A and B are shown apart, each in its own frame.
Chain A
Amino acid sequence: MASAPHVVIIGGGSTGAGIARDLSMRGLDVTLLEQGNLTHGTTGRMHGLLHSGGRYAVSDQKSAAECIEENRVLRRIASHCVEMTGGLFVKRPEDSEEYFEEKLRGCEACGIPAEVVSGSEARAMEPHLAEDIDKAISVPDGAVDPFRLVVANAASASEHGARIETHSTVTDLLVDGDEVVGVEVDHASGAGRHVHGVEGGTEEIRADYVVNATGAWAGRIGEMAGVDVEVRPSKGVMTIMNTRQVDTVINRCRPKGDADIVVPHETTAILGTTDEEVEDPEDYPEEEWEVDLVIDTLSELVPMLADARTIRSFWGVRPLYEPPDVGSTDPTDITRDYFLLDHEERDDLRGMTSIVGGKFTTYRMMGEEISDHVCDQFGVDADCRTAEVPLPGSEDFSVLRDYMDEFGLRSPVGRRSVERLGSRADEVLKTTDPNPVVCTCEGVTRAEVQDAIEGSGSNLNAVRIRTRASMGNCQGGFCCHRLASELHGEYDEATTRAAWNELLEERWKGQRHALWGEQLSQAMLNYALHATTQNRDHDPAERDGPPVDFGAFDDGATPTDDPPTRDAVADGGRDGD
């Protein structure tokens, strides 16, 4: 082939990043366009469950079988993004025995390793489970870090020559007759890494093929070319606790329902969720009852959750898709499967396919299927290798623990840095400069922050999702300004300050749903640190109106006598005793 076909992928969630990696590994010329940071959409707002498939073993066995297959693949290719916590489907006395049996048989049918454990065995594994639970089924559920996984996919795509543009919104599709031939893009800050305050611009990108991987937004991209993509966005809440009350994924063993799962994730446990159809994936109500519901219902499984401290809540929108003829009224009835919509077959519009629905856990499989489809269009014959080739950072993960001493990092800081970075730890942490901890709650060091800045520019929210800095108990109260300082030098003070403000507002946003008890006290402390100690709420550098009249304030004049400092020295104070 003289020159490879150029494919534009719209959407930098797990689906888009997975496709970008796959196609670029097969030698195609790839451009990925994302309107925000990577994981800006649903991928950055999901529960973090690496499905074993157990949840779908009764209701949707096709999805269940896909999940267990991909669960095994991700453990292999992305070990640094996955924590194999194991999972339990817990049955309370009032839950149906019949369903419990169905779940067990379903797991068997789908090839999901499942084992029944007694109530006391389950409590031995998870001491905070309720006293009165009957029994449980143990399955290989895990926790997965979506940020790290998507960044690793994008990094791999880049290594294979892909162009990855964040903060670049597709504003229109270029259509020539009955064919999509490219996209119009609005760059927030010029091409390349995102920098605050740098003028952006628009660009027309020609493409041989366009993949619409915009999840809940897919309908909008469809509209740009006059085709219908019937995505039915459905929101769900997730409430983050300050510690891991459980170390295993805890599911309620009963048919679909709200508030039935707790996922341990890094230093936290995340409760979820709800399922409510919404009109607009970007603008929907985030409601108090949802937070109360997950806490109250899940306390039936883990009683201590009722009074535990939550640090924030966030919402995500499921990009559910239902073929037009089904017409479910309840969003929980809509299938979790994914669909590949070839607009040529469907709408006589050549040059574009949309991929909608699905799950994070099966992102790679979705990527493989659509990549096969794209390659077919061009008669490209190349095998998919994404299931075999480890993602950057996950090679040789087993030997990493030994590096800890070498990097001079104290456990647990060292352990956590190394786990986050995987096999990249060596490259990132080996620095001759001092490497202090910048975010104490999550144990994130300067070297990691600097590495993230190199990767994502002056956007501190992007640095945050790469490193977890500011995502712990204090929610950035102690480290937002430190992160801003890490930008300074490479970026000027005004850019740094803009990024700092953006991070402060973002951190505040999710905390609002956790404002009682300890976290309200934390919020007051944070507010005082930023407003009282630092006067960031009335920062004279950001003042509208006349400048501060410095001359009107105390300049220290009328010093009465020689300050006692000098006396102290004369007294021999230098020796300090």
Chain B
Amino acid sequence: MQAFFEDLANDFYTNLIAADRWKLLLQGLGVTMEITILALILGLALGFLTAIVRSTHDKTGKLIILDAIARLYTTVIRGTPTMVQLLIVNFVIFASISVSKVLVAVICFGFNSGAYICEIVRSGIMSVDEGQFEAGRSLGFSYAGTMVHIILPQAFKNIVPALGNEFITLLKETSISGYIAIMELTKAGDIIRSRTFNAFFPLITVALVYLAIVILFQQLWKRLERRLRKNEQ
């Protein structure tokens, strides 16, 4: 029993403390968060934009070309693996242009997330009763004004849980960035594994870090949801 704990302490030391390996993980975590947050911002912008284009087309029949582009975009992104998209963005689109790898990942994951956020926002807009739209228009609001003041605030409230989910999905999905030589959290753990020849410690640590972030985020998000809901009862 004692030997077991001694081994554990030893492993802990070699995998996390020696050669400041914990710093490698911390740096990796920083890169993971950077990619996730920037990609989420890009994804939200793209997602809202395409969702508004698509709903406007559904409601008014206008924006035919933009709608076709938006539909193509969401179909292609949602119909192919993220991993393949990452490789294509890195080795095809940015093959001869030298930009930072992190930027490549942000663009890839941002566009990827945007397609899913588009569907989320679209379902949010559709979930708002048609009568709300008519009430806005009958008061004299323009189409855009009705969207901004009446439809989107209600749609947003409806999709807050789904948006939280999207953040979690995105966070975990960035773990494939190692394939284009980005030192994010998962890659950092894997590098430690290859140096210490110990798989258990670095990989479990990495998993726990992801888990901790997700749980912490879920708590914060639940609080936000509750606050938004209270605003209406």
User: A and B from one assembly?
Assistant: no
Which residues does A use to contact B, with CB under 8 Å? none
